[in-house]
Every structure is written in C-alpha cells, then in structure tokens.
C-alpha cells in the first residue's frame, strides 16, 4: 500500500459500526447526549487553544519591536504570512474536511502549530548567532506554516457540530462554540501576555506551545468523529429531520460554489475581519503609542474585547434561534452597527481608561456576534450538512485574505508616518490606519443587506434540494 493511500485511510471518515442494542432506549439517548457533549467541549476548548498558538505573536509585538529584533513593517509581513496561508488552507481544508476523520485532522493541525511556536521561541534565544535578515525570513516561513496548520482547526470543529447536533439547535451550539475564538484570545492576552512580561517574548512562544499540547490531548481524548462510528444512528435519524440531498458530496460542494448568497456573506466577513484583526493585532501598540498607556494596562484593555466576545457569541446563537426563529439578519445588522460605533469610540473617544474599556466592551460583544454570524453560521444555514466545510472554506478564504492584507496595509500605514526622535525612539502615526479600520467595519454591516431576501430557516433547499 502506498504512503498516500495509508495517509488517506488514516484521515478518512470513521466507518459505521453495527448499531448497539441500546438505540432507541433511555440508555441509548443518554449515551448519545454524553458523546455529543464530549465532542462539543473538545471542539470548543481545543479550538480556543488553537487560537493561543495563532495570536501569540500579537501579544509580543511591542517587546519584539523594543528589543530591536524586528520592526512594525516586518511584523506586519510575518503576521500576513500566517493569514494568507490560513486563507488558502481554509479553502482547501474546508473542502477536504467534509470527507475526513475530524478528530485526527484537528489534532494534526494543532500538533504542527505548537511545534512552530516552540521553534520560534527557541530561535529567539539564539538570535545573536543568526543574521537578522535570516531570522526574518525564517519567521515568515514558519508563521506561514503555522497559518496552514491553523486552517485545520475550525472546519473539523464546526463539522462536528453538524454531525452531532440537530438543525433546530445549531445556532445555540454554534454560538457557544464561536466563543472559542474569544476564549483563545483571552487566554493569549492574559496567559501569554503575563509570561512575556515576566520572562520575555521568547518564553511567550514556549507558553503557547504548552497550551497547544493541552489542546491536542483534549481533542484526542474527547472528540468523536460521528454518531455512526459509535453504534448510533445518524443525527438526521436521531432528530427526525428530512432526508438530505441525494447528490454526491462533490456535486453539493460545486453547487455551494455557485450560490451568490454565500459569496456575499464571505465579502461581509472579509471586511469584518479587517476590523477584528486590526484591534487584536495593533490595538495594544495603538494604546501604547497614541494614548500613552503602559504595556500592562494596554494588554488589559484589549483583553476586555476578547472576554466580552465570549458573552456575545454564547448569546448570539441562542438569541437568534429562540427570539428570531433562526433568522440571523436583524441581529447581524444591529451588532454590525455596534461594531463600527465601538471602533469610533476607541479611536476618537479620548484617553480616559473607562472610555477605552467601554469601547472594547462594545467591540467585544459585537465582534463575538459577528464572528458567529458572518464568520460562518449564516453561510452554514443555507447549505447542506455535507457541504459545511465547503461553505466555511469560501467564507474563510475571503476573511483571512482580507485579514492578511490588513496586516500588511496597517503595518505600512503606521510605519509611513513614523518619526524617529533625537534619542532614537520611534513615534508612530495611526491616523490613516484607523480610518482604514473604521471604513472596513462600516462596509461589513452594509453588505449582508444584499441577502435580505433570504428569510428565516433558509437551509439546504436554497442550494441543493433533496431531490437533486
């Protein structure tokens, strides 16, 4: 057997086993609930630790710049390398993951990501022995590989929700899962941030690797591929849902590619991700350079956004499922406007601590909802289960190409207005960068209006009717 075939077999969807005798009994229902809950927790916490291995660099930007190791423009290029690789990986791995064993796929990506973080931390300790130009190139390559590895996290995690939970509860569980983004950022800002403050930026990468190792263990122990591999019926049978499309997965994915509404949502998510990554990537530096906060206070203010985002995402799915009967349009518009207002307050609201804390509170809640809705759920709502990964791939590639361009453009805009003082210190100008961020935020809530005709519960019939 060839190596490629062995790899293909290793990552293929788990084969169904004969249904156990407890199917249809209270004992069987209890077993299903336990396995579904374990998968949900493993996917959510596992992906939050993916995020620690992704956002670690954002916490270290100021210490790295201050050390003279790299400048803002170079860090922007390194950050964009991850995002561009992540964008391509989201498209590829989203489509691939529809055919995969999600446990093994997700664990592999996080293993590679933690190894990259550990390597970069170790390289930081030997920087004097390696030319700066070489270090920069190595960091770009390694962080790009990390981007590809990171793209192996979200698709299997979200596909697990589709395989284990009914459509009627999709928004609720998707919303809670989406809190993993914010939970990961919160862990990164506080855990990695404190490690950096105590021991230096090199140890920040090492701390991220430790967090990743914990995530791998959670996924391998508690994430389950699908109900059929555990002797249970499919979720469609368990939930008494209508039959899925009789088209092949490949044909369904092709039809998803031709669905305009999915691409509109991808565009909206792209502009939303510009504002999201602008704050997570440059927010700390903005507070330090423009508003004069010390590093510890700046980290604390930005961490509010990540913490409150958890509140926004957890409530968003339940809110739309319960009060709007699965219709995400109105909540998406409301919180899109809130996102823009929060950015305006953050940029132009002055230097008072409470004002900036309030801005990050509003931004975090709004972003939490938008990551859930624009970042995937609204697209997943209008495609069949078997094309969940494809929809996420389309939204993901647009979102992270935009996020990568943001990092390059923001870094260039910030550096272009930089002034070097007589003592050698640098003063950065964020004027045009912040205008760029706010404009992108406004476009992100205007674009989904083009999809207003898609009413509540527009599920798979819009894309792929059961009859084909």
Say whether pLDDT at 460 is over 50.
no
What's the CATH number where 319 sits? 1.20.1250.20
Q: How many helices (H) and strands (E) does the chain have?
A: 18, 2
Mean pLDDT to the nearest integer, 388-398: 79
Provide, rounded to the nearest whole percent, the portion of the chain with pLDDT above 70: 87
Between 105 and 324, residue with greater pLDDT: 105
Question: Which string of b and e fits 2-11 if b means at least 16 CB within 10 Å?
Answer: eeeeeeeeeb
Angle between helices 72-97 and 102-125 (to 10 degrees): 160
Amino acid 467: pLDDT: 37
pTM: 0.71
| 9 occurs within a structural domain | no
Segments forming the whole domain that contains residue 130? 33-226+248-452
In 3D space, the residue among 385, 404, 16, 410 whose CA is nearest the CA of residue 233 turns out to be 16
Angle between helices 26-66 and 201-222 (to 10 degrees): 170
Mean pLDDT to the nearest integer, 443-457: 69
Amino acid 462: pLDDT: 47
Question: Computed from CA positions of residues 133, 151, 84, 340, in that sequence, does the dihedral angle turn out positive or negative?
Answer: negative
| 158 occurs within a structural domain | yes
Provide, rounded to the nearest whole percent, the portion of the chain with pLDDT above 90: 22
Residue 350 phi, psi (nearest 5): 95, -175
| 458 occurs within a structural domain | no
Mean pLDDT to the nearest integer, 291-305: 85
Amino acid 325: pLDDT: 61
Mean pLDDT to the nearest integer, 171-179: 75
Question: The tokens of 432 are what?
Answer: 């045009």
At a CB cut-off of 8 Å and minimum separation 6, what does 145 contact?
A: 85, 112, 116
DSSP assignment of 387-405 = GHHHHHHHHHHHHHHHHHH
Say whether pLDDT at 459 is over 80.
no
Mean pLDDT to the nearest integer, 293-300: 84
How confident is residue 323, by pLDDT bands cut at 50, 70 and 90?
low
Most confident of 71-75, 115-119, 163-167, 405-409: 115-119
Mean pLDDT to the nearest integer, 275-285: 87
Between 174 and 79, residue with greater pLDDT: 79
> Cβ distance 83 to 400 under 8 Å?
yes
| 5 occurs within a structural domain | no
Question: Which string of b and e fits 408-443 if b means at least 16 CB within 10 Å?
Answer: bbbbebbbeeeeeeeeeeeebbbeebbebbbebbbb
The tally of domains found in the chain comes to: 1
Say whether pLDDT at 409 is over 80.
yes
| 16 occurs within a structural domain | no
Say whether pLDDT at 384 is over 80.
no
Q: What is the CA 45 to chain-centroid distance, rounded?
A: 13
Between 278 and 419, residue with greater pLDDT: 278
| 295 occurs within a structural domain | yes
Say whether pLDDT at 450 is over 80.
no
Q: What is the CA 76 to chain-centroid distance, rounded?
A: 19
| 424 occurs within a structural domain | yes
Mean pLDDT to the nearest integer, 224-239: 81
What ranges in 188-294 are assigned the alpha helix state H?
Answer: 193-199, 201-222, 235-238, 249-257, 260-289
Quick one: 169 exposed, middle or buried, by C-beta within 10 A (0-12, 13-18, 19+)? middle
| 234 occurs within a structural domain | no
Amino acid 115: pLDDT: 95
């Amino acid at each position: 057997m060839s190596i490629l075939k062995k790899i293909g077999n290793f990552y293929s969807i788990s084969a169904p086993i004969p249904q156990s005798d407890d199917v249809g009994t209270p004992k069987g229902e209890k077993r299903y609930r336990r396995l579904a809950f374990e998968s949900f927790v493993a996917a959510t916490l596992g992906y939050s630790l993916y995020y620690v291995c992704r956002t670690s660099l954002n916490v270290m930007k100021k210490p790295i710049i201050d050390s003279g190791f790299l400048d803002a423009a170079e860090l922007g290029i390194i950050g964009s390398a991850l995002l561009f690789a992540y964008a391509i990986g989201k498209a590829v791995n989203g489509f691939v993951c529809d055919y995969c064993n999600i446990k093994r796929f997700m664990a592999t990506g996080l293993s590679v990501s933690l190894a990259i973080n550990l390597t970069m931390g170790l390289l930081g300790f030997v920087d004097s022995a390696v030319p700066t130009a070489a270090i920069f190139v190595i960091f770009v390559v390694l962080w790009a590989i990390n981007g590809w590895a990171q793209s192996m996290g979200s698709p299997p995690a979200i596909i697990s929700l589709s395989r284990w939970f009914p459509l009627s509860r999709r928004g609720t569980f998707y919303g809670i899962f989406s809190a993993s983004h914010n939970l990961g950022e919160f862990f990164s800002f506080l855990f990695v941030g404190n490690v950096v403050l105590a021991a230096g930026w090199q140890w920040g990468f090492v701390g991220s690797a430790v967090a990743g190792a914990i995530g791998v263990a959670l996924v391998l122990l508690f994430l389950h591929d699908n109900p059929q591999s555990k002797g249970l019926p499919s979720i469609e049978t368990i939930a008494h849902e209508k039959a899925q499309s009789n088209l092949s997965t490949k044909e369904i994915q092709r039809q998803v590619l031709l669905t305009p509404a999915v691409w509109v949502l991808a565009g909206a998510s792209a502009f939303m991700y510009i504002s999201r990554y602008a704050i997570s990537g440059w927010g700390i530096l903005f507070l330090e350079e423009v508003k004069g906060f010390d590093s510890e206070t700046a980290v604390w203010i930005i961490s509010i956004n990540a913490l409150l985002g958890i509140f926004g995402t957890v409530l968003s799915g339940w809110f739309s499922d319960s009060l709007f009967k699965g219709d995400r349009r109105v909540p998406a518009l409301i919180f899109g406007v809130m996102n823009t207002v929060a950015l305006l307050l953050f940029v132009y609201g002055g230097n008072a601590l409470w004002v900036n804390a309030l801005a990050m509170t509003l931004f975090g809640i709004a972003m939490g909802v938008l990551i859930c809705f624009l970042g995937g759920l609204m697209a997943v709502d209008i495609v069949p289960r078997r094309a969940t990964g494809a929809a996420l791939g389309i939204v993901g590639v647009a979102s992270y190409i935009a996020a990568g361009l943001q990092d390059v453009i923001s870094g260039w805009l910030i550096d272009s207005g930089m002034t070097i003082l007589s003592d050698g210190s640098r003063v950065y100008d964020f004027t045009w960068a912040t205008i760029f961020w706010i404009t992108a935020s406004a476009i992100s809530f205007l674009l989904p209006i083009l999809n207003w005709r898609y009413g509540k519960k527009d599920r798979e019939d819009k894309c792929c009717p059961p009859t084909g």
